[in-house]
A and B are shown apart, each in its own frame.
Chain A
Amino acid sequence: MIEAILNYEFLQNAFLSGMIIGVIAPLLGVFIVVRRMSLIADALSHVTLAGIAGSLYLSQTVTTLAYLNPIYFGIIASVGGSVLIERLRSLYKHYEDLAIPIIMSGGIGLSAIFISLASGFSTDLMSYLFGSVSAVSKQDLWVIILIAIIVIVFLFMFFKEMFVLSFDEEYAKASGLPARKIHLLFMLVVALVIAASMRIVGILLVSSMITLPVAAAMRLSKSFKQTILFSILFGEASVIIGLVSAFYLNLAPGGTIVVTSIIILFLVIIIKKLVLKIKVERG
């Protein structure tokens, strides 16, 4: 395997991208989960699909755009979607979750139109839907690195603000934090991470990278710091095991990564239950 990675550039791209996503997706995921926004990540991934499908269609029909990397349109759609979700959430103040089905169905609807308009990009599309070990280009890797830098800078600047905002929004506002502005920035960064993650895990499974490692970490951790550390650890483990098995078994990495995350989650739940039982029995 290591020899293969050293020899093939496409494998290097896939593994490097995967390792980066394994850190940034669960890192932001902790804030998404504790703020009960997991479904928003799902809605955004479906909007991203519309951007990808639109871009693939354009590259077929407009010759000057033939070599356009769909990730850019994916990013634009995801960021646009996050802005729209926020607009809808403030419009339907008492029914904030309505924004999610509106944006999600809008995203899938647009994707369906672009997919049926175009013909013959089913292989490409499959790699965007479920991820791919072989399709990650050097350009994709650079975009993912750039997005990772943005995430790190954002959290470096606003980590404690995000903590306060997630824990107690009223207190955040009373202490004079620009809660709304920080939240909007956070949504934009989430949109970027979703667009970045889709290359590896696929659009349909992006939200799993954001939520599953966090769900497992929350069963074990006693503090916020631990939650973050465990989330990244589980995220990385899922990506590495998932990518290696996808490569050897010739499977879509989205599937293997998500199944690995779910196995980790179940193992954590079972082991914790057993440990508690033993503790109770010993008194």
Chain B
Amino acid sequence: MMLSVWLPVLALMTSLLAAVVIFALPEQGYRLRTAVNLGAALVKLGLVVVMVWGVFRGVDYGVSFTMAPGVAFVLKADALSMMFAGLSAVLWLLTTVYAVGYLEDSPNRSRFFGFFSLCVASTMGIALAGNLFTFFLFYEMLTLSTYPLVVHRGTEQALKAGRTYLIYTLTGGAVLLLAIAWLQGVAGDLPFREGGHFTENDPALHTSLIGIFVLLVAGLGVKAAVFPLHGWLPQAMVAPAPVSALLHAVAVVKAGAFGIVRVVYNIYGVEASSVLGVLEPLAWLAAFTILYGSVRALWQVDLKRLLAFSTVSQVSYIILGICLFGPVGAAGGLVHLLHQGIMKITLFFCAGNYAETLGIHRLDEMDGAGRRMPATSFAFTVGAFGMIGAPPLAGFITKWTMGTGALDAGMDWVIAVLVLSSLLNAAYFLPILHRLWFRDPPRQWPHERRWGRLETSAWLYWPTLVTAVVTILAGVLASLPFSPLSWAELIVLREYSP
């Protein structure tokens, strides 16, 4: 009994404590800091695994206390929480390993890793938040803890990107707070609940419920980079590679998407949302964003910028998926929460490897890099094909499940969006793959560094390969229990038959 209260708290506290300890450590304490970082990441992963098993068996993890009259702080672990928490825990471990290698010898590492841990603690809080208020607390904490990471390099460009980021996200946060307050006024403090709260609602409330929904989605859509609120994301790619990886894969954009999932499923309820008529417009917006992001990506010459626009596109798959009224489509959207994370982090790791090892930043510098860095290029190839949705990779499982769900729901037009998006993804990823493998390398790389036996530092090498292999396995083994797809189906099962 006690354990069910303490586990979520402990999971949250590991990253938080790690952050505090790291801030306190001196800058030179390289070994100790790395040990604390990795130790905390491993402990957290262990806790999350235990909780995943518990949630699977139906254990209720949770704790709540009242902060002010009518406002409660609630931590709770349901299947959806664990999906996000699991992603956060796995990727935190990998990204930490990666960041240790990436930031070798660079200044201000103490500050970096402190905020890094804080950022992960925020994602954990977002995952475990049991009501909108708690969610909002961690959501804003995430904004504040990622800002120092985005501007870490301290360059003019980084500071400018950081400013844009803050303007966007703080405004979004304000809108979100307004929406939460309005909802509080209309319906009181609502805990997240499978099936939602508004299945039998008063028609008189419809207008305000729709208004609140629009505000909620607008507030959350900033981080989820939904068109036209995506402007900050391509700029934020000036951050160091591990930050971009974390930002794009789990932390910021996913927090927005996750919030939208919470609102649709656990506040409104998918049936009520459908009755209110808010899902269809949101689906169209998501579909537009999917295509818009891909079209913009076509014209990019900078690898990380291209990946950023690809994120704009891919995150909207999640939103589109949950707007498909029906369990299969929903599973397709939710599973992309994990799939996009693992694929995109692979690609960003690769981008970091190219930059650190060969000094490559632009697409036209990538010619022949496959020969010099076969493992990284293999990982990039896997990630790119995953994004295109080629079978048997993770992205294919998403597309197939969503496509089936769309047809079940009678929204056949979604198929056209999926196909078009795949074509666009192929149009900007395949030329890169051609460059990597079929062009001759230049006589000299822009800025080459050598590390002994491996093609790059082992700290950068292994996380990249691991995420690539996971991308393959998530697709090939999609029907195993505890695969991303199976877990998404479990969430959906609980949502549709609460």
The answer to whether A binds B is: no
